[in-house]
Amino acid sequence: MTFLERNFLDIRNLDLMARGSSLVHRLDPRAKLLTTLIFIVTVVSMDKYTIAQLIPFALYPFALTALAGLPVGYFFKKILLVAPFAVLIGLFNPFLDRTILLHIGPLGISGGWISFASIMLRFTLTVGTALILIGITSFSGICLALERFKVPRVFVVQLLFLYRYIFVLLDEAGRMARARTLRSLDTTGPGIKTFGSMVGNLLLRATDRAERIHLAMLCRAFDGRIRLMSEPVIRAVDIFFILGWSALFLFLRCYNLSEIIGNSALEFL
């Protein structure tokens, strides 16, 4: 099995997780999407040197994971898979911002290292929560929520097709790579010429597959609307979910809960 098949095709498990019957699974997709967007905006809007104040925000993804019964290790592996992108974003901060902001004994920590740690923490919180959202809603449910929020239908349908058929494209690429490996005695991998030929062949196959899929959809009277087995309805529990978590996010944004707990513990001792 190739690297693409081991890691990217494994994302299909998110849609399987979304078929659960827990309380958070049964919430309206719009409620979960809106609450997650508020969470992401709140986390991203924090000061670049913030670390301790971000930690309590982990309550939201951990609560969703626990209530839905999702495997924490699965999401941790997916976060590690894309973590190098976040590392590249903050990699030069320690070299550009050398102002000492924190002392731990004789060791001085510059603002660059603090901002780098803040970037990694924000990345973990936001990306992990987005993956959990798919795991409790399904990507189709998220696209349906976007459509209900009056996002242009063309954009929503294109987003849905990109997610759904990227697996078809990767599966086709995996079969081509295995066929090339089985028919070649060269173990050093494909050269530039062979790789270019494979990409061109993949493009032709993808175009042919897209035409067949389009014809099949027209035969089934597809009109550009996203439909699920049952139409979601906003209930009181959905409103409570949005307002409750949003109030907590606002509180954590305005007050440093970690500092409050630490000071209270010191006073108690």
pLDDT at 228: 60
Structure tokens at 183: 């028919």
Q: Where are the beta strands (DSSP E) in 69-206?
A: 100-104, 107-110
In 3-state terms, the chain is what percent helix, strand and coil (to 5)?
75, 5, 20
**74 CB-contact burial (10 Å; exposed 0-12 / middle 13-18 / buried 19+):** middle
- Which residue do the tokens 């949005």 mark? 242
CA distance 141 to 128: 18
CA dist 244 and 237 (Å) reads 10
| Residue 97 backbone phi and psi in degrees, to 5 | -115, 95
What whole-number distance in Å separates Cα of residue 249 and Cα of residue 133? 17
- Contact by Cβ (8 Å): 46, 252: no
Give the per-residue pLDDT at 96: 81
Amino acid 220: pLDDT: 77
CA angle 46, 33, 7 (to 5 degrees): 85
Burial class for 93, CB neighbours closer than 10 Å (0-12, 13-18, 19+): buried
pLDDT at res. 41: 95
Domain boundaries, the chain: 20-137+235-268
Query: Quick one: pLDDT at residue 6?
Result: 57
Q: What backbone torsions phi and psi does residue 127 show, to the nearest 5 degrees?
A: -65, -45
For the chain, residues with pLDDT lower than 70 are: 1-12, 184-195, 224-232, 269
Percentage, residues of the chain above pLDDT 90 = 25
